[in-house]
Structure 1
Amino acid sequence: MLVSQLGRSTPGAQAVVTELMNQWQAEIATGIRAMQRAGEISPLLAAERQAAALIAGIQGGVLMLLSTGSTTPIWQRPWTLPPTGYAVADPPSAAVSAVAARRMSARW
């Protein structure tokens, strides 16, 4: 069941989903700020906004997977990372996603 469906089922479920999403966003924003302090991503990114965008992207990817049965659209890379590691002109969510993808690739 998608989080959006669960959140609409009852007021209690909506409260739980809201709290979980807020916690998830706060944890991601904390990670973004840590990457900014480490110089891995631009300090100009708005951590809370990028955290919300990342969650939205994940939820969209899950919806695509459930709708098509394929993970291919989720793993396609529509962006490239410049040699410097990030560029201010890049869309912020792409810069965050690029760093996350590099970290995940290193683990696999």
Structure 2
Amino acid sequence: MKRQSKFIFIVITVMLLLVATNIILFRQYIRNIEDDAATLNSLGIIRGSIQRFSKLELYGADNEKIRIDINSRIDIHRKVPFIDRVAEKWAELESVALNYRADPLR
């Protein structure tokens, strides 16, 4: 009887360790998904801000705050893959906007 209770204790201990490990791994997985969702949301804000910047630029409205916000959001996400391409295209759009401000009829 003692041998059987020792075996049951070991089995229960192993099962509890497996359950605890599963819980820890699941929480880590959820945290990673939340980080990815936050990154996607912020990148969507960058996209929408660039559209708004372009529209306000064409209307001649003040868009300096949006430009600063876009630059800061791009800087925050420098570790995101392909953000360098977004930053490069954003720099091109900024230079086009400055040229447009200087001479809108050109």
Give the structure-2-normalised TM-score.
0.33
Larger RCO: Structure 1 or Structure 2 (Cα < 8 Å, ≥ 6 residues apart)? 1
Give the structure-1-normalised TM-score.
0.32
